[in-house]
Amino acid sequence: MKILISGARGRMGRGIERKKGENEIVCGICRTFFDAKFPLYESFENIEEDFDIIIDFSVAENVEKVLEFTERCKKPLIMGTTGLSERDENRMKELSKVVPILYSHNTSLGVNRFLQILENAAAILKDEYDIEIIEKHDRGKKDAPSGTAGMVLQAIEDGSKINRSVVNGRKGVCPRADGEIGVHSIRGGNLGSEHYVSFITEDETIEINHYSPNYDIYCSGAVKAGEVLVKLAPGLYSMRDIIERM
């Protein structure tokens, strides 16, 4: 599989190069050049190399250009960039009618299996347990709670079929209300990615967690997902869709 990386200089872009396996990085897009083992371009207009798939882990401001280029070249796209506008998401849905697109905030195979486990647990436990989420990341992570924490919330809601009110941290006099779910963010040093979910009653606690010391899980997951995506018909796919086809 021949890969074009959009956001080649970023943490994810470099990780994809490390985790490419037997696949080939044919070129990359980045705003500032670096010592890469493949050709780099500032603009999609200058690309001459043949490729099988675009993997985008850039910035939201760049997404419109990525989608325009995807529409022109008609090649599969993995969209891992977060913070997309509603307009970008709608355009991506339209574009998926002619090319296969994977859109996910988290391309880790383990994390997505973790989400499936949580959905099943929530379906079994329903509203009998209080639920708390703690997520930890390094001091440089920009958003809080994490995008994965949002996916955790959605998995729990999908499993239990219950709409819970979300409380991000607690302060002051705040006894727990029925039907709420607490989300707490910790940032510091070079912490890896950690997500803990606790199901709690007066007499017992069930805990399910996922931990990774670095971001390579997202890179290897994106590459493996790409190997599946290039064989699929046009459509908008999730990581669950991809995992089910592995």
Which of 2, 19, 75, 141 is labelled catalytic? Answer: 141
What contacts 15, CB < 8 A, 6 or more positions away? Answer: 215, 216, 218, 219
140 Cβ neighbours under 8 A, 6+ residues apart: none
171 is catalytic: no
Tell me if 77 sits within 8 A of 101, measured CB to CB: yes
Query: Both tokens of residue 5?
Result: 């990386």
DSSP-derived letter for residue 8 is: T
DSSP string, 165-226: EEEES--SS-PPPTTEEEEEEEE-TT--EEEEEEEE-SS-EEEEEEEESSTHHHHHHHHHHH
- Which H helix or E strand runs over 124? helix 109-125
Catalytic residue among 105, 137, 210, 224: 137
Specify whether 141 is catalytic.
Answer: yes
Catalytic residue list: 137, 141
